[in-house]
Structures are given as structure tokens and as C-alpha cells.
Chain A
Amino acid sequence: MVARVGRRGLLGGAAALSTGLWFPRGGRAATAMDFDEARHLLSRITFGATPAEIGALEGQDYAVSVDRLLASIRQSALTPAPDWLNEGPAELRRRQQAAQAESKTGIDGKKLDVVRPVEQQGRELRNWWVEEMLATDRPFTERMVLFWHNHFTSSFLKVRYAPALFRQNALFRREAVGNFATLLREVARDPGMLIYLDGMRNVARQPNENFARELLELFTLGEGHYGEADIKAAARAFTGWSIDRETGHFVNREQAHDGGRKTFLGQTGNFGGDEIIGILLKHPRTAETIVEKLWREFVSLTPDRGAIGSLAASFRRDYEIRPLMRAILLSAGFRDPASRGALIKSPIDLIVGSVRLLGLPVPEKTQLVRMLQGLGQVPFDPPNVKGWAGGESWISTYTLLLRQQFMRRMVEATTVAPMESGMTMADRPNRRADRKQQLAASESMQMAEPRPVEGRSLRNAGGEARLGPTLSGLGSPLLLRTLLARPPINAIDPSLSPGGVVALAMLDTAYQLK
């Protein structure tokens, strides 16, 4: 029997489950969430919410839950920082040159590969963040950090100094839902940004306009709200902001600063960088730019002019991000059931989310980074200063095919031998305590490389398929409601085994939506 699973038909099935994960139904406040709304909230602000995570919110008061999520920011990462964090650029350059000098010529006349410290640190940096996204118990933090990374972009390909990008990531973490004015002022002094947009080369004798242009075009006002003369004036105002070559930290070189008069957006004075930022923060476009972008990221690709205008007006008063995020998540636009499944998952949503949801062990993050690269979203490597365009541009004929292929690979990898030999992922609620266990598990995994067991994959293992603890013991209807934001495009037979249902759901086009 093949039947398209309807939304209403699922409710009874969910209530009948006795997994112990669900809260009692009685005594709910009027604003209590049902399973689908809880799923919607988590799918937009976390990665790959599990039935347990959704169940924990079901029946809870919506506004109270939002407040709790907004208060759950982890200001410093769970994953230990790489050990090169305090290496200065000068020292790193010396090591890089030494490595290059050591590289030998092979018998074919080509230079043999050597480990170059700059690239090595870059790899470790990307892996570090992907690991944090997988390991964190506060995925909302990572979503916000990713948002700021995509707003104030810096690319490792240009910066080539991982410690600065690590510290920039720490800044986004600290101000994830903090204050935008603070964030903007700090970003302007951020060494990663000073390298990425050539601020460190911006000197009175010959100003470099790169940072000033993107500050106006992308970080605050947006195209059409300033002129070329404003860019030149702003570039002069920021002259002298640079980095110390030994420590890699911010330094203000007074002798390189142009202290002369500038006219910027109609105001004249002997402006420095902070005065320029002050003027930009007073401009109504700045708040609108941020709110428009948050709306597109968290709510819908279709801007609601009225809602955005009033959110921006409040935001501009103090630039506090937390109340803004609260207002967005409580907005009618966000809560409208028609918004469910109306956004396309980013590659990070898709890959990180699926790994979390399946509870897949991932000893080696490089492989995930490679998947993200194919799909067009490598952390610390945005395609250009505008960041990832997102939305519909995530899906082209090329990336849609690749997404399907990666999902197939994950589905095949879900019942690999190591899992059958009793290795399990940590339960979600105690992730922190279980991290050690997880690490130990990953070490053993590296020796026994996970390889699909023929005939035993999630898709075709039938009743024997073993789902990870995140999904095990649940019936097909609830699995579908967890995995998909809307009914599947290709009907899924609910009488299939749970493993088969999960496999088909992940390969369905609707799985690309959130």
C-alpha cells in the first residue's frame, strides 16, 4: 500500500508513541507549541533537530521557549582551540618559508608535497568549526556565528593567517546576540578583516578603498545610498588602522593616518574610523540592511516590508541583537504555518544537520568539509566579500545532483559495521559529558574505516536496519514529521521499515527544505 502521508493523519500516530520523550499533554498554556511548530522553530535556528529535541519543546510556551533559546548562547566554543592560536604572522611566515625550503624534488622532477604551516592551519581551522557545529549543545550559537561570518565576510584564501580568523570567529561568538554597534566597531579593527579587505595597506599617502567600499555597500547602507566620494572620504578616515606583524593584533599607526577634513554623507570634520561608523549607525539604512538579511536567513526569501520597517526602527534605537531576534521569531511571518518548508537548506544545514540527526560518527571532518566545498559553502571561505548568496542560488542543476549523491552516501553509511559492533553516539542531552566517549570512539573509527555493508544500508536492510539512538524506536509517521518540513514529493509508503522511511525521506526533494 502506497499512500501519501498527510499532515493531519500523523497526529494520532505521534500521540500513540510511548518513547518517554514526550511531555504530558495536559495543562498547556494557550500559546503552547505543537510538535510541528517546535520542529519549525528548531529547524530554523539549529541544525537537524532530533525527535528528542523537538519533543522537549512540544507543549511548552512558545515565547518562553524562544527566550530560553536566545539565552542559550555559548560565548566560547566547546571544542578546544587549536594550539597555534598565539602564533604571530612573522613567526608563521618564517615557518612557512622553512617548510618550502625543505621541499625536495622527486624523481619526476616535480616538487614533492610538504606540509605548509599556513595551509595546515587553514585545514585545522575549518575542521575545528565543523567539529564545533557537530558537537555543540547550543547549535543556535553556531547559526548566529555563521550569519555574522556571512555578513562580515573574511576568506582564508586571502587572509592566509588562521589565528586572526579564529579570533574573528570568537568575536562573532561573543557578540552573537549582543550589540551590532559594538560588533561593527570591533570588526573594523579586526585583524582578519584588516587583511581581507586590505585595511592594513590603507595609508594616508595612498588610501586603499577596499574596506571602505564594502563597509558602505555590504556591511551597512547597501548600494545606492552613498557616492564614490563618500567611499574615498571613509577610506581616508580609516587610514592608519593596521596590524602588528609580530603579534598579529590590531595597532593604530598614527603616522599613517590622514587627519585632514573629510566630507562623508554630507557631514564634514576631521573624521577617524569611529566617527565614520558613528555616522553609519545613525543612518536608517544600516538597521534595515541587517533586518532584511536576518529575515531572509531565518524567516522567508520574500521580504515583508512592513514588518522589516518596524523591526528596523526598534533595532536602530540601541542595536541590541537579542530583542531583535526575539521579535523576528515571535513575528506572525515566522509563525505562519505557510512559512514551514519555505526556505532552502544551506549546505551546512544539510550536511551538519543530517549528521546530527542521524547521530553519525564522523571521525574525520575533512570529508565533510569536502562535501561542503562541492555544494558551495566552505566555512571561512565565502566565495567573495558579499558572502554566500543563499536562497534559491543554493540549488542549481549541479548542486541538486550533488546533494542527492551526498545524502545517498550518508544513507548508505548509516548502518556500517562499527555501528553494528555496538558503537553508539552519545545521547543528545548530555553531549558535553559524553564528548570524551565520542572522541575515544572516533579514534577507534579511524582504524576501522566506515564502509557500507553490502545489502545492509539504511535503505535496504529492511527490518534489520539499526537507526542510531537519535531516531531508534520511533514509528514511521513521526520519523517523517521529524525529517521533512512538508509532505514528501514522492509518496512514501508508511508501512516500510523505519530505516527505509528515513532513507526515502532524506532522498526526497522535500528534504532540501527547512
Chain B
Amino acid sequence: MSRILLLVELRGGNDGLNTLVPYADARYRELRPRLAVARDHVLQLDERVGLNHKLEPLMEAWKAGDLAIVQGVGYPYPNRSHFRSIEIWDTASASNQTLSEGWIAQAFRGTTFAKGAGVDSIVIDTNALPSTGPELRTIVMQDAEAFLRQAQGIKSPAGMSDNGNPALRHLLAVRQEINAAAQGLSDRLRAAPAPAESYGQDLFFGRQLDLATRVLTAKVPVVAIKTALGGFDTHANQAPVHERLLAFLATSLATLRRNLIVANLWSDVVVMTYSEFGRRAKQNASAGTDHGAAAPVLVMGGSVKGGLHGAYPSLSDLQDGDLRHVVDFRSVFATVAQGCWGLSRDFGLRQPQRLGFLG
């Protein structure tokens, strides 16, 4: 059993409270008199919580049991710096620990898998940290055709030496990666058909998913693909921006699902969203929200056990104005490592929680 993880980073700190809305809790409206999602704009999932109505395109997956929502995901001693917090997530570190290797690379530490296409992980984004590490050959690209065309110009000379110069060592290592990847990728990608249904192009995320779909249908044997949707740092006038992003996210992911179902690949892929943090429970004076802590993680795929997992954090027991986490994100990662790659990993947790969203 091996499944491909498709990561979607929601950059800037996605507001979990207005994504999965605790509509039945009166405290929600008290904390957010201007920002609370109106009750008739909530797609009720149970008697307590529901999705923002802009996520309506995801309801198809929800009804099919393909969408799992892990509630209250975070970590102890939350850090509210964008950079530090995304680093904590990407490297699966504790709040007070600095690691340089990404969590996917860590998961594959000490494993040997068939070196097929010369590339193990494809990042269609600028932040490659989750799959950065010596164990994984990671390629960062934004356009497959351009990548292959340009790679032809870079040839590996024999006997390159970096003379102890770390900058040069890095350059030469990147060259090697390009050479190896280009050899493996070119034939497969050229043969890949265009996705059955095309993606919205308003935001770059649409193009990222297009390329991700081609990589998947071309059966490039990668373990992970990463994409990102930016703009979630909504300190001011949050509602229109956030709604637009949620709508684009939901529409694109629904398209992805249909494309992969048509290609008979939907059970081989696990899509997971994550963000460096959620946002402050209380709205601020600028009709926005400041950096917060725990938030929900969405997981989708044909092999996913849909439904609500974890538990919604209490709105009357806040910690410094933020939601307390119920599920440690490293437990989510451990579940994914097991469910996608059959790797038993604890990511430094003494006892990762067993989460049932992936068999």
C-alpha cells in the first residue's frame, strides 16, 4: 500500500473559526459581533458545527464520505510568528525545538524505496521545507514544460569539486538534482493527458493543481506533492478576502477530486490542508483577526474515512484569547505517515493519538 500525499499549505494563518463554524455556540457570536458567519450561511455538518457556505463545493466529497475534518489541531505553547510556526509544522518540531529537516523527509529516514523517476517529491510552490532533507530528492517547479526544456541546458560535468565552499556545494547539488529528475520525468510528463476538467486560473493555486494532476496521472512515483494557497493573513477587513479564498480552495479541490476519480486515482491520493496557525477567537478593531492557535485540518481522498475527527476546542476556555488545541499536529502527521506510506513514526511525541481518518 502506498498513497501519494498532496499537501496544500494555507499560507498566512487560516481562520479556523470561520472555516468550520461552531454555529450553535453563543460565545462565537459574542467574540465576533461583526465577523461571525451568519447562521443561514453555515452548511451544518452536525448539531454543533458546519462549514462556511463558501466551501459548498466540498459538500459532494463530504456526502460521499471522502472528506475528513480534524478539529482543533495545534501544539502546546503555540508560537504566533508566521515563520516560526510554519517551521514548527513543516519540521514536526516541538515549540521550543529547532529542526532543519522536513517531516516528510524525516518519515523516510532510513528507508529504501525504488529509485524510479529520479524524484521523490515535487513542490509546486516556493516553500519546500516539509520534504527538505537528505533522504528525499525534491524538485521545485512551477511549470513542467519549462522545467524539462531548461533542464536540457544543464549538463553534469565529471569531477566537480566545491573546494570547501558551501555556496558552491549547494549549487552543484541542485544541478545534480535537476539532471537526475529531468531524466526520469521527461517521458512520463510528455505523455500525461490534460486534466479532464480544467482548474480556475484566478489564483496561482489553480495552475499548481493542474500540474499536480498531470504528475499524478503520469504515474510519476513520488511520495508527496506540495502546493500552497496564500493570502490568509487577514488582520483587516477579513470577510471578503477570506470568503474568496475559501471559495477558490473548495472549487479547486472539488475539481481535483472529480479529475482523480475519472483517472481512477482518487483512492491513491490523500489531500491535506494545513496552516501555520488559526486566528484569535475575538475579532480585532479592523474587522479582522490576529494570529491565533488551533484550527481544523481538512483531509480528502478515496481512502479517507470521512467525518469529524478530534473535538472542537471550547470557546469558553481560551488560552491567551486563543483556542486550545485538542489534537497535536504530529498525531495527524503520524496518521498520514502510516496511512500513506505504511511508516510507523511518532515525530517526537511520546504517544501519538490514534486518529481514524485514514485506514
What CA separation (Å) do A201 and B290 show in the bound complex? 12
On whether A198 and B285 interact (CB within 8 A), knowing A397-B140, A509-B172, A510-B168, the answer reads: no
What CA separation (Å) do A400 and B168 show in the bound complex? 12
Instruction: Say yes or no: B167 contacts A400, CB within 8 Å.
Output: no
Cβ of A217 within 8 Å of any chain B Cβ, yes or no, is: yes
Q: How far is the CB of B84 from chain A (nearest CB, A)?
A: 6
A-facing mask of B87-114, CB < 8 A → 1, else 0? 0000000000000000000000000000
Q: Which chain A residues border B172 with CB–CB below 8 Å?
A: 489, 509
Q: Which chain B residues border A213 with CB–CB below 8 Å?
A: 80-81, 291
Instruction: Say yes or no: A397 contacts B284, CB within 8 Å.
Output: no
Q: Which chain B residues border A198 with CB–CB below 8 Å?
A: 235-236, 286
Q: Which chain B residues border A223 with CB–CB below 8 Å?
A: 81, 84
Instruction: Say yes or no: A208 contacts B153, CB within 8 Å.
Output: no
Interface residues on chain A, number (Cβ under 8 Å): 44
Q: Which chain B residues border A302 with CB–CB below 8 Å?
A: 166
Q: Which chain B residues border A376 with CB–CB below 8 Å?
A: 126
Q: Give chain B interface residues in 163-212, CB to chain A under 8 Å.
A: 163-168, 170-172, 174-175, 177-178, 181
On whether A397 and B170 interact (CB within 8 A), knowing A208-B235, A223-B81, the answer reads: no
Instruction: Say yes or no: A513 contacts B284, CB within 8 Å.
Output: no
Instruction: Kindly identify which residue among B139, B160, B166 contacts A397, using a CB–CB cutoff of 8 Å.
Output: B139
On whether A341 and B167 interact (CB within 8 A), knowing A223-B84, A401-B154, A405-B150, the answer reads: yes
Q: Which chain A residues border B285 with CB–CB below 8 Å?
A: 201, 203, 205-206, 208
Instruction: Say yes or no: A401 contacts B147, CB within 8 Å.
Output: yes
Q: How far is the CB of A113 from chain B (nearest CB, A)?
A: 15
Instruction: Say yes or no: B286 contacts A208, CB within 8 Å.
Output: yes
Q: How far is the CB of B30 from chain A (nearest CB, A)?
A: 15
Cβ of A138 within 8 Å of any chain B Cβ, yes or no, is: no
Cβ of B142 within 8 Å of any chain A Cβ, yes or no, is: yes
Instruction: Kindly identify which residue among B81, B141, B286 contacts A201, using a CB–CB cutoff of 8 Å.
Output: B286
What CA separation (Å) do A97 and B284 show in the bound complex? 27
Q: How many A-B residue pairs have CB under 8 A?
A: 114
Q: How far is the CB of A242 from chain B (nearest CB, A)?
A: 12
Cβ of A490 within 8 Å of any chain B Cβ, yes or no, is: yes
Instruction: Say yes or no: B147 contacts A398, CB within 8 Å.
Output: yes
Q: Which chain A residues border B171 with CB–CB below 8 Å?
A: 344, 395, 400, 509, 512-513
Cβ of A386 within 8 Å of any chain B Cβ, yes or no, is: yes
Q: How far is the CB of B202 from chain A (nearest CB, A)?
A: 12
Cβ of B216 within 8 Å of any chain A Cβ, yes or no, is: no
Please classify how large the interface on chain B is, using the bins under 10, 10 to 19, 20 to 34, 35 or more: 35 or more
Q: Which chain B residues border A338 with CB–CB below 8 Å?
A: 164-165
Q: Which chain B residues border A398 with CB–CB below 8 Å?
A: 139-142, 147
Instruction: Say yes or no: B168 contacts A513, CB within 8 Å.
Output: yes
Instruction: Say yes or no: B140 contacts A396, CB within 8 Å.
Output: yes
Cβ of A404 within 8 Å of any chain B Cβ, yes or no, is: yes
Cβ of A301 within 8 Å of any chain B Cβ, yes or no, is: yes
Cβ of B157 within 8 Å of any chain A Cβ, yes or no, is: yes
Q: Which of A203, A301, A396, A512 gathers most chain B CB within 10 Å?
A: A396
On whether A404 and B153 interact (CB within 8 A), knowing A203-B285, A342-B166, A376-B126, the answer reads: yes
Instruction: Say yes or no: A384 contacts B83, CB within 8 Å.
Output: yes
On whether A206 and B80 interact (CB within 8 A), knowing A198-B236, A342-B167, the answer reads: no
B-facing mask of A503-514, CB < 8 A → 1, else 0? 000000110110
Cβ of B35 within 8 Å of any chain A Cβ, yes or no, is: no
On whether A486 and B168 interact (CB within 8 A), knowing A217-B81, A401-B178, A402-B150, the answer reads: yes
Cβ of B320 within 8 Å of any chain A Cβ, yes or no, is: yes
What CA separation (Å) do A201 and B287 show in the bound complex? 10
Cβ of B327 within 8 Å of any chain A Cβ, yes or no, is: no
Instruction: Kindly identify which residue among B80, B126, B138, B139 contacts A228, using a CB–CB cutoff of 8 Å.
Output: B80
Q: Give chain A interface residues in 216-259, CB to chain B under 8 Å.
A: 217, 223, 228
Q: How far is the CB of B183 from chain A (nearest CB, A)?
A: 13
Q: Which chain B residues border A341 with CB–CB below 8 Å?
A: 165, 167-168
Q: How far is the CB of B330 from chain A (nearest CB, A)?
A: 21
Q: Which of A205, A213, A338, A400 gathers most chain B CB within 10 Å?
A: A400
Cβ of B250 within 8 Å of any chain A Cβ, yes or no, is: no
What CA separation (Å) do A512 and B175 show in the bound complex? 12
What CA separation (Å) do A341 and B128 show in the bound complex? 26
Q: Which chain B residues border A385 with CB–CB below 8 Å?
A: 82
* B290 to chain A: closest residue by CB: A209
Q: Which chain B residues border A228 with CB–CB below 8 Å?
A: 80, 320
A206-B284, A376-B126 given; name 8 further pairs at CB < 8 Å: A223-B84, A383-B126, A386-B83, A392-B167, A392-B170, A401-B178, A405-B153, A486-B168
A-B residue pairs in contact (CB < 8 Å), sample of 8? A201-B235, A208-B286, A301-B166, A341-B165, A398-B139, A398-B142, A405-B153, A486-B168
Residues of B within 8 A of A (CB): 80-84, 126, 128, 138-142, 146-147, 150-151, 153-154, 157, 160, 163-168, 170-172, 174-175, 177-178, 181, 235-236, 284-286, 290-291, 320
Which 5 A/B pairs are nearest by Cβ-Cβ distance?
Answer: A206-B285, A401-B150, A396-B140, A201-B286, A398-B140
